[in-house]
């Protein structure tokens, strides 16, 4: 499926390059600079595309996103100009249309840049009827994908924000690192986790990117595990742990792991009097988790949609049970975070970067 998606994106990108070349060629200043030389006019029109190629210095995915959004901007402004001409009989000069498309795209992606790089705090408060002896505060984050919008130093600053909230436990719900993450950032981020001071500790479950797809990182999965554990992070792989005497934390292996146990196996013998919290990176086992009778499920993976309309497409394709936010099925409450960062793309036009604070109030 991923190969098909990448081939479709490549095809759309090639079409976008051709389309944008024809749009830039129509600007009056391009024709004036070319002074009537046809070949030169196409060369001048290509220069803005060459400048856009600088986005590839971040990564090729960023360049693709910029090209596709700029294409959409030109199409939208062209459509608006056609409607204005048809309805009002007013001709909008092409140069005005083109400049409007560029400005609109720049503003839209600038907002997306801010939403990706500024980390918000999202709070949830729940009341339980179970015999929880005191309120329990969980700080949860997912999808840091170190190196995209957060390096090790920036991640450490976010951990200081979390520490100031005095959580009882911190949960990392997968995709802590990416295939492009650097060892120095991974080590610095693990150290920042180790400096957190919580009554019950820091807990971690793997996501689909954590163990790497292409084995081109400058650290191994074993080194990631070692750095996490050396900094006091408890890794849960289809395991449960009792926090205090009234809250059970269940950490699931990622869906991509063929050895993952099913939810019925994980919750066999679960004490229904205790509050149960499940960490599951990918939000796509809701029916089984609700049937198991757990109280709360925390997930990431979707990045809240990341780039509009990717989240909607994912839901329509059935890739996930939810895209973002809060949902309740039976007696189970599901929370999907949009992630503290995201994969490969330094923009979020369909979501925001965040960490989650979940307060479970004692009866």
Has residue 4 got a pLDDT over 90?
A: no
CATH number for the domain running over 120-361: 3.60.21.10
Please choose, from the candidates 260, 250, 177, 239, the residue with its C-alpha nearest in 3D space to the C-alpha of residue 211: 177
Residues 6 or more apart whose CB falls under 8 angstroms from that of 180 comprise 59, 147, 148, 217, 344
Please choose, from the candidates 156, 273, 252, 149, the residue with its C-alpha nearest in 3D space to the C-alpha of residue 207: 252
Full-model pTM: 0.91
Q: What single-letter DSSP state applies at residue 295?
A: S
Residues 6 or more apart whose CB falls under 8 angstroms from that of 29 comprise 95
Please choose, from the candidates 142, 147, 286, the residue with its C-alpha nearest in 3D space to the C-alpha of residue 207: 142
Three-state SS for 210?
coil
What is the phi/psi pair of residue 191, to 5°?
A: -60, -40
Given a contact cutoff of 8 angstroms between Cβ atoms, the answer to whether 355 and 176 are in contact is no
Three-state SS for 86?
helix
Label residue 142 left, alpha or beta by phi (over 0 means left) and psi (-120 to 50 means alpha). Answer: beta
Q: Which of 101-115, 242-256, 308-322 is least confident?
A: 308-322
Question: Tell me: the pLDDT tens digits for 201-260?
Answer: 999 999 999 998 877 899 999 999 999 999 999 999 999 999 988 899 999 999 999 999
What is the phi/psi pair of residue 98, to 5°?
A: -65, -45
- Predicted local distance difference test score (pLDDT) of residue 310: 85
- Predicted local distance difference test score (pLDDT) of residue 316: 82
Residue with tokens 């009866």: 363
Spatial distance between the Cα atoms of 68 and 150, rounded to a whole number of angstroms: 24
Name the average pLDDT for the chain.
Answer: 93
Q: Which residues in the chain are classed under CATH 3.60.21.10?
A: 120-361
> What does each C-alpha distance from 301 to 69, 176, 322, 344 come to in angstroms?
23, 11, 10, 13
């Amino acid at each position: 499926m991923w190969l098909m998606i990448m081939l479709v994106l490549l095809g759309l990108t090639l079409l976008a390059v051709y389309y944008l070349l024809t749009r830039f060629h129509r600007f009056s200043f391009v024709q004036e600079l070319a002074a009537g030389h046809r070949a030169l006019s196409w060369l001048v029109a290509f220069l803005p595309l060459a400048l856009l190629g600088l986005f590839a210095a971040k990564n090729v995915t960023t360049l693709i996103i910029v090209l596709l959004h700029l294409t959409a901007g030109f199409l939208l402004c062209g459509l608006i100009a056609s409607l204005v001409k048809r309805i009002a009989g007013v001709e909008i000069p092409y140069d005005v249309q083109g400049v409007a498309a560029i400005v609109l795209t720049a503003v839209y992606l600038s907002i997306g840049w801010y939403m990706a790089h500024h980390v918000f705090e999202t709070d949830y408060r729940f009341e339980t009827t179970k015999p929880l002896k005191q309120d329990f505060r969980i700080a949860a984050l997912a999808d840091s994908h170190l190196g995209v919008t957060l390096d090790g130093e920036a991640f450490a600053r976010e951990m200081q924000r979390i520490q100031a909230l005095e959580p009882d436990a911190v949960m990392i719900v997968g995709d802590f690192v990416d295939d492009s993450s650097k060892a120095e950032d991974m080590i610095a981020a693990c150290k920042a986790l180790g400096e957190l001071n919580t009554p019950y500790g820091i807990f971690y479950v793997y996501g689909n990117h954590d163990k790497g797809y292409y084995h081109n990182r400058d650290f191994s999965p074993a080194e990631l595990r070692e750095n996490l554990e050396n900094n006091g992070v408890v890794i849960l792989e289809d395991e449960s742990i009792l926090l205090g005497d009234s809250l059970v934390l269940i950490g699931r292996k990622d869906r991509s792991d063929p050895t993952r146990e099913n939810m019925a196996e994980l919750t066999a013998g679960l004490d229904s009097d205790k509050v149960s919290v499940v960490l599951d990176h990918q939000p796509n086992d809701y029916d089984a988790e609700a049937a198991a009778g757990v109280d709360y499920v925390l997930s990431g993976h979707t990045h809240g949609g990341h780039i509009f309309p990717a989240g909607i497409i994912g839901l329509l394709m059935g890739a996930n049970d939810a895209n973002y936010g809060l949902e309740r099925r039976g007696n189970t409450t599901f929370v999907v975070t949009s992630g503290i960062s995201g994969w490969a793309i330094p923009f979020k036009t369909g979501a925001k970067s965040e960490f989650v604070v979940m307060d479970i109030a004692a009866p």
